[in-house]
A and B are shown apart, each in its own frame.
Chain A
Amino acid sequence: MVKRVSVVDVDLCVGCQSCMFACNRRFAEAGLARTAIFVQSTGGFEHGFAVKVCRACREPPCVKVCPTGALTKREGGGVRLDYRKCISCGNCVEGCTIGAIFWDKVLDKPTVCTYCGYCVSYCPYGVIKLEEVEGA
């Protein structure tokens, strides 16, 4: 079963960023350096929020721009990152059309969603859910 984190209704998002902190806690760390999901306002709190997270593309643009094959397609959609092959060029960050690859300054490597869904259990308003990728 191939899963992904999907944004159900972004208008429910209050910008609390609990998902971002949850993602970082996967490494049992506090803070935000390693989060693979990102919430920001769309021009001030009055205009609501955008949630950026990997949507598990079938033809991921990030894979196309990775020069070392560190990023590979996951069967059914999405990507996997092999840290050993990654040379920290940052092409993937630029290459992701929706801006869902982030940079971990501590590791000096990209941060990509692993589709674990840990963040979903910390969204108080059901903005995001872990779902099966259709047709995968």
Chain B
Amino acid sequence: MTEASALSRVLYVDLTNRRYWTEERRELFKECLGGTGVAIRLLMEECKAGTDPLAPENPIIFCVGYLNAVFPLASKTVAMFKSPLTKNLGESHAGGRCGVAIRMAGLGGIVIRGKSESPVYLVVSEDGVRFKDASALWGMSSSSTVGRIIREREAGAGVRAIMRIGRAGENLVSYAGVITETFRHFGRLGLGAVFGSKRLKAIVISGRSSLTLRDPRGYRAVYEELYMNFTKTSLMKKYHELGTPMNVIPLNVANSLPSRNLQRATFEGADALSGEALSEKFLGRRAACSHCPVSCIHIAALRVPYETEPYFYKTKMISYDYEPIYALSSMLDIRSPEGFLQLMDRVEELGLDAMSTGVALAWATECMERGVIGTEETEGLVLKWGDYRTYIEAVERIAGVKGDFYEALGKGVDYVSSIYGGDGFALAYGGNEMPGYHCGLATHLGFLVGARHSHLDNAGYAIDQKLNAEGRKVEPSEVAKMVFEEECWRQVLSSLVVCFFARGVYTPEVVSKCFSVMGINLAPADLKEIGGRILREKYEFKFREGFSFDKLKVPKRVTEIPTPQGLLTEERLREGIKHFEDLLKKDTKGT
């Protein structure tokens, strides 16, 4: 029987030579907790400076932490790799069943090296690793079909995750994602393309082990308290009832919802695409990640007629969330929920990142509107706001890398605009397409400085929403401090690995208690210190790969459209960046 405090085993898989082995890395986990903390160390060990993200030398790393399979809402897995999209730190988190499955297979981390000669999928369990031929799965038009076939062929139903890529990943589209349990994703930053570059189609991982606790009675008490907080208080109401799309209306009302490539910050289709409207008309099923009673996964049932065949219909089950609504509906001004859902469905099947895809299409549409590009570039497609059918054809071409323009579009808006123009309205930060918040200074400062340029790095968007609601105006220095402190703490949560939705419950004091029943003594102050150190290590990787605060580019469009705090100026953003940099360096020196 394994102790919960004995998290240590790292599985190494060498795809080139089809070998695998495990190593005990107990000290590493003790020092870095797991998840993000261990993954960045392993990435530093495995990924040499200047590695080509699509070369066999770029590793794929998955890590879980001490809380996975032990406490509720510790349902996430952290993936790290060098990103083909930003050419820098790639970090992506997913839920579903993978966090629990990896831990229950007796593992803390997985490192995948090399490149398979032919398409392969891996079967990982407590009994080891099997390399299975994936030639017949390569090139399939839907990632769901791949999931179904593997589900039928392999063991572990109920206690397994099936991570897989779609065509976009096979074709090395820079923002291809990895899908797990049909509806959850290692999104953003192109993990799918790294899978594709290794000819790795899927990973099935399963396990059903048990972990002992140093203080069994204390464990049950702490668990009970957490569980009550998650199920009997209003803390999780937002995620529980309408899910993340409950954000649509409030952000729209606050002039914070980017639409038409951020030519405006309100969306005329907001009512029809709101969490309320989608629930009423389309919500067909709710689902949850393993060990999470909240069940934020909202799945629409969409009945679609066949246009050429009367009395034939199909019913598709399509998961929806706030960010895809922002990117594939609001940004493209698709006001029809049916249109959005069909576009979303195709994006899922092809295995593209919904956010980058939407922002890329929005950029291309504005380019057409302004005459920067024409049908010669788009090879006949006329991209128009709201025209979801044409967008569906465009995503086929992006995922299929059909023609020069779509190949470039599949490398992100930073890249495509460097070739075709239109960089003033190319909405990307550090090469990663912008998330769906235009709330103010903290939001955009967060996107600029964040370790992986995601709204979830540091919660700048949430800080702004709070400040805006309170009617408070604060100086860039103070904003930078808030962003920095939140980012430090989030490194701890993502090392445990706890879902960020649970951040209101997993305070430093609560996390300290969770460790204490495992027999690990970590005071709240120790945890905060570890968070700061992990963040610093991530920036070390970033600096090594060419990141620099001075070189950060502010998309011009962001400063042209008012936020709830008025127009942002580049000057104030630069001031915020400077303060953030100072805080990070101060931390580095330990002073």
Mark A residues whose CB is within 8 Å of B: 14-18, 21, 24-25, 27-34, 38-41, 43-48, 105-106, 122, 124-125
Contacts and interface: CB of A to CB of B under 8 A. Distances in A.
A39 B293 CA distance: 13
Interface residues of B, number: 47
B158 A40 contact: yes
Given A14-B288, A16-B292, A43-B148, A28 B219 contact: yes
Contacts of B100: 17, 32
**Which 4 residue pairs of A and B lie closest in terms of their CB atoms, listed nearest first?**
A40-B158, A28-B216, A33-B210, A46-B317
18 contacts: A16-B293, A17-B100, A21-B291, A25-B219, A28-B217, A29-B211, A29-B212, A29-B213, A29-B216, A31-B70, A39-B158, A40-B157, A41-B158, A45-B182, A106-B209, A106-B210, A122-B227, A124-B231
B213 to A, nearest CB: 6
A20 to B, nearest CB: 8
B209 A33 contact: yes
Given A14-B287, A30-B69, A38-B158, A45 B212 contact: no
Contacts of A47: 317
Contacts of B217: 28
Contacts of B341: none
B159 A32 contact: yes
A126 to B, nearest CB: 12
B210 A34 contact: yes
Contacts of B288: 14-17
A122 B224 CA distance: 9
Contacts of B227: 18, 122
A45 B157 contact: no
Interface in B165-185: 181-183
A11 to B, nearest CB: 9
Contacts, number: 113
A30 B208 contact: no
Contacts of B547: none
A44 B147 contact: yes
A38 B159 CA distance: 9
A18 B211 contact: no
A38 B216 CA distance: 23
B124 interface: no
A40 B160 CA distance: 10
A43 B151 contact: yes
Nearest to A24: B210
A52 to B, nearest CB: 9
Interface string B287-298: 111111111010
Contacts of B297: 14, 45
B223 interface: yes
Contacts of A30: 4, 69-71, 210-213, 219
Interface in B31-71: 69-71
Contacts of B231: 124
B285 A48 contact: yes
B299 interface: yes
B466 interface: no
A125 B231 CA distance: 10
B148 A33 contact: no
A46 B299 CA distance: 7
A6 B69 CA distance: 25
Contact of A124 (B70, B104, B158, B293): B293
Interface in B279-327: 285-295, 297, 299, 317
A124 B232 CA distance: 9
Contacts of B220: 25, 28
A66 to B, nearest CB: 23
